[in-house]
Amino acid sequence: GRVDDALRSLEAIANAPKGRPTNLAQLRLRADVLYRSRTRYAEAARAYQEASNVGGVNAAEDAFLAARALSRADKDNEAIAAYGAVVTRFPRTGWADQASYFVPYLHLVHGRWREAAIGFDEYVKKFPSGAMRPETTRTRAIARLMMKDHRAARKLFEELADDNKGDALSFARARALSALAAFRDGDRT
């Protein structure tokens, strides 16, 4: 919890006569300290982006964490753009998979139902067995329900119920929301 002390230690390491980490390692350490502080996300975003720009084997992860830090700093529109940049720059990575989910998720959080629904549909097409696929069914269904596409929402909630038969609570939630979507679509049964 002593962030400033940790940052001063990093500065001392950077000025050590020998045995100091590479510039990239120092950038990543600084970003990690700022991110873990939970109060300095905007600074962490800049540090992670700088590390990503340097390159290296963790460039995709650093770019993703820069976007994540922006979101945690309540800069969601900037985060959406940064997630998009991860997808463009590192399209075949697990980080692009996650970034492709978080773009529509942030639209959902801000009540932009149509953008969210379209983004989740694109995610499912691009990453049919992606890491965020299980969560996508639920958020995609919610986006469809909120944008009043009740027929599509019902179908998605029914799929979600089928996928959660082993979890009674999740199954019941999905069935209840499926019934709500059906009711709003005019199906009284």
Tokens representing 11 are 């500065």
All residues at 6 or more sequence positions from 101 whose CB lies less than 8 Å from its CB, including other chains: 120, 123, 130, 131, 132, 135, 136
Tell me how far apart the alpha carbons of residues 70 and 74 are, in angstroms, rounded to a whole number: 7
49 within 8 A of 81, measured Cβ to Cβ? no
Total residue count of the chain as it appears in this document: 189
pLDDT, average across residues 112-134: 96
pLDDT tens digits, 16-44 = 777 788 889 999 999 999 999 999 999 99
Question: Looking at the predicted structure, is the pLDDT value of residue 7 above 90?
Answer: no
The pLDDT value recorded for residue 185 is 96
Question: Looking at the predicted structure, is the pLDDT value of residue 115 above 90?
Answer: yes
Confidence of residue 125 (pLDDT cuts 50, 70, 90): very high
CA–CA–CA angle 69, 71, 72 (5° rounding)? 65
- How far does the chain reach from its first CA to its final CA, in angstroms? 56
106 within 8 A of 79, measured Cβ to Cβ? yes
Place of tokens 């629904």: 117
The pLDDT value recorded for residue 4 is 82
3-state secondary structure of 115: helix
pLDDT tens digits, 11-20 = 888 777 777 8
pLDDT tens digits, 50-65 = 999 999 999 999 999 9
